[in-house]
Amino acid sequence: MKRQLTSFKVAFWGIGYTLTAEPHMRFHLVISIYVIAFANFFHMTPEKWSILFLTAGGVMITEMFNTAVEVICDLQTGSYHPLVKIIKDISSGAVLIAALVSVAVAFFLFGDMKVIGGIVLFFRQNPGSFVLFALSLIVSAAFVLYGPLKIKTFFIKKQ
């Protein structure tokens, strides 16, 4: 049982490392959270929710593999090597494909213009919700750009 708990601990550490070290991972996480939140405006079947979660998870998993490949390459080479560049470019291309597929999936899941109009109407009728949404965008942008450690350091230095 202790080995299983340790396995979970190191797996969560790996997720935390990727979120801390990779702005793209933070971007994918933030976008996924917004997509899931806005999906609540649509009439989503369990099958559509499954597709949504599989797609979002696939992008983040691909980003984590990309990060792992980059770490391995950096560990093996102390300087520029053309083959390492090819490896990193291929790995990053995989993330791009996963992200583009997720955009295509979103287009099919959320292409209903009536619902999109309903979202706009909701924010027009609920300005407080719009303000909260706008504030969440600012917080999300800071999280993506600076990451949790730089934000934490910023606030600790201010005290």
Exactly one of 22, 47, 63, 70 is catalytic; name it: 63
Could you give the angle at the alpha carbon of 57 between the alpha carbons of 96 and 92, nearest 5°? 25
Q: Verify whether residue 70 is a known catalytic residue.
A: no
DSSP the chain: -HHHHHHHHHHHHHHHHHHHH-HHHHHHHHHHHHHHHHHTTS---HHHHHHHHHHHHHHHHHHHHHHHHHHHHHHH-SS--HHHHHHHHHHHHHHHHHHHHHHHHHHHHH--HHHHHHHHHHHHH-HHHHHHHHHHHHHHHHHHHHHHHHHHHHHHHH-
Active-site residues: which are they? Answer: 63
